[in-house]
Structure 1
Amino acid sequence: MTEKLRFVIAGFFVGLAELLPGISGSTVAIAFNVYEKFILFLSNLKINNLSFNLKKLNQLFFLDLIIPFFIAMAISVIFTSKFILFLYSEYTNGFLTSLAILMCLISLLIAFRLKKEFEINLYWFIYFLAGAILGIILNNIDFVSNDPSFFIFILIGFIAFSFFLLPGISGSAILLSIGVYEIIIGSIANVEFEVLVPFAIGCLTSLLLMPKIINFLLSQYKLNIMIFFGALIFVSGILIFPS
């Protein structure tokens, strides 16, 4: 398989993963061995790196790989969002049950992977408890009550894309945790610009600001971050089980 084809296939499955809570797009990117270049591409997004020299741009941003990756990702999101919205709308209980189980399993998988690196002690329980409490709090906050503002959707886009950059943490799982998953998926499927425009602005803002911050946080506090958000997703998965 050529590298370009690998990036195209990876883009399609990353797009699909980002629509399914519990599956991390970054984890899929790692599985296809494209995550490192993707993060490097984001880290190189600086004004002083921009140029009309296409050869230089390609060396810095891997455009021959990244552009097909994003095109495949966009195609995946556009075409599979309608199917996922159909499942969510027509088979709500079954769909939510499947997502809840998936989110819990992914959280347990995160814990299993971390057990070799993290000694279970008081700090482990503190981070786990903090993540679990935040999951409960988020589940009880209505982020889109009445008429959600333009700014709220910018914030949601910022949050979703930031979590997209974290390996093992699903951006859609966070959207589900804060109760906006159906709105965002529906807006993508039905091309609702009043939601998509501010959401895209939030994603773009995160893309420009967060890669270096996330790289720093992961290099310094990776285990703590993964335990915290693993607990958040686990509790959120339990809470979305249909009653």
Structure 2
Amino acid sequence: MGAADVVPGVSGGTIAFITGIYTELLDSIKSVNLNAVRTLFRQGPRAFWQAINGTFLLTLGSGILLAIVTLARGIHYLLVNHPVLVWAFFFGLIIAACWHMGREIQRWSAAVLLFLAAGAVTAALISSATPTELPLNPVTLILAGSIAICAMILPGISGSFMLLLMGMYAPVISAVKGLEFSVLGLFAAGALLGLLSFTRLLSWLLHHYYQAMLALLTGFMVGSLVKVWPWKETLTTRIDSRGDLVPLVQVNILPHWSAETLQALVLMLAGAGLVLALEWLAKRFAR
């Protein structure tokens, strides 16, 4: 999830979906509430830890943080120097994820197809939207944190890409580098607000309308393929937080046959193979 979240256009929620931990993740985050605080004071730390599924959250959070710390530099280098190959790997991964999740939909109906189409169209429109520039103030920072964390949870919608669309990616990264705690505090407050409220809604929907939500979330992943398509023509660029010139607005094009195209196809298969391997491991450990 951490590696996916580093790439603007790929969601960590997609990885949670593939590995079968998505519902448990939402339920665990939802359990961090006032009842859990009461449990802490009435029954002690052990009961509180169990109430919030603390071991799961700590393990997952540690893995995300470890991946961001160790892989961010390498993934950034690959995105700048070998973007087609990086996007090809994630394209194959998401295609296989769509197939995997589509098999989980047990009752296909007109309503389910409508939710699938709605998710695909929504994600495609977001992925192809033109970035804007919001003013930097406390309200926009809280809003950006809320939207980014909600997008990060949803499969197929990237939190970092949402920050790019709002023009908040560079200010937030700059605040991280410069340790601007006033900016980071407002952003974190918005993220916490969005996380605790949005996960409750998603969890409730998954428990009460599982098939429809499964179709909608699968649609989000299908629509994200517009953003993840490896072969693009760059129309405008921007300077990122490292001072590198990176693409800002791009359009998808058909590939020309070359050695790189062959490598991209191999990496697509590798991405799809990773999903199948994760599915196999999930089934094996579930026994």
Cα distance change, pair 235–188 in 1 and its aligned pair in 2 (3 A): farther
1:124 partnered with 2:113: yes
Query: Residue 78 of structure 1 aligns with which residue?
Result: 69
Query: Residue 131 of structure 2 aligns with which residue?
Result: 142
1:163 partnered with 2:151: yes
Secondary structure, counterpart of 1:178 in structure 2:
helix
- One-letter identity of the residue aligned with 1:70: G
Kindly provide the CA deviation profile for residues 161-188 of structure 1, in whole angstroms up to 9, marking residues without a partner as x. 223334x435347538837696388448
Query: Residue 162 of structure 2 aligns with which residue?
Result: 175
Cα distance change, pair 65–148 in 1 and its aligned pair in 2 (3 A): same
Q: Is the 8 A contact 2:120 2:222 kept in 1?
A: yes
Q: Is the 8 A contact 1:85 1:185 kept in 2?
A: no
- Separation in 2 of the partners of 1:171 and 1:226? 13
- Separation in 2 of the partners of 1:121 and 1:177? 35
Query: Residue 9 of structure 1 aligns with which residue?
Result: none
- Separation in 1 of the partners of 2:158 and 2:47? 32
Please give the residue correspondences for 1:32-43 in structure 2 after superposition, counting only pairs within 5 Å: 35=22, 37-43=24-30
- One-letter identity of the residue aligned with 2:192: L
Compare 48-57 and 112-121 and name the one that shifted more.
Answer: 112-121
Query: Residue 46 of structure 1 aligns with which residue?
Result: 33
Alpha-carbon shift at residue 233 of structure 1 (Å): 0.7
Cα distance change, pair 107–42 in 1 and its aligned pair in 2 (3 A): same
- Separation in 2 of the partners of 1:238 and 1:34? 26
Secondary structure, counterpart of 2:233 in structure 1:
coil
Cα distance change, pair 64–227 in 1 and its aligned pair in 2 (3 A): closer
- One-letter identity of the residue aligned with 2:36: N
Query: Residue 5 of structure 2 aligns with which residue?
Result: 18
Q: Percent identity?
A: 16
Kindly provide the CA deviation profile for residues 138-197 of structure 1, in whole angstroms up to 9, marking residues without a partner as x. 63332336x44443343332223223334x435347538837696388448735536644
Unaligned ranges ≥5, structure 1? 1-13
Compare 68-77 and 25-34 and name the one that shifted more.
Answer: 25-34
- Separation in 1 of the partners of 2:157 and 2:198? 16
Q: 2:193 aligns with which of 198, 205, 227?
A: 205
Q: Alignment length, in residue pairs?
A: 224
- Separation in 2 of the partners of 1:127 and 1:31? 17
- Separation in 2 of the partners of 1:196 and 1:61? 25
- One-letter identity of the residue aligned with 2:177: N
Secondary structure, counterpart of 1:161 in structure 2:
helix
Secondary structure, counterpart of 2:232 in structure 1:
coil
- One-letter identity of the residue aligned with 2:142: I
- Separation in 1 of the partners of 2:163 and 2:93? 15
- Separation in 1 of the partners of 2:19 and 2:115? 34
TM-score by length of 2: 0.59
Q: Which has the higher strand share?
A: 2
Unaligned ranges ≥5, structure 2? 235-287
Query: Residue 237 of structure 1 aligns with which residue?
Result: 228
Cα distance change, pair 187–73 in 1 and its aligned pair in 2 (3 A): farther
- Separation in 2 of the partners of 1:137 and 1:35? 22
Secondary structure, counterpart of 1:242 in structure 2:
strand
Alpha-carbon shift at residue 58 of structure 1 (Å): 1.8
Alpha-carbon shift at residue 57 of structure 1 (Å): 0.8
Q: Is the 8 A contact 1:81 1:186 kept in 2?
A: no
CA RMSD of aligned residues (A): 4.0
Q: Which has the higher helix share?
A: 1
- Separation in 2 of the partners of 1:181 and 1:204? 17
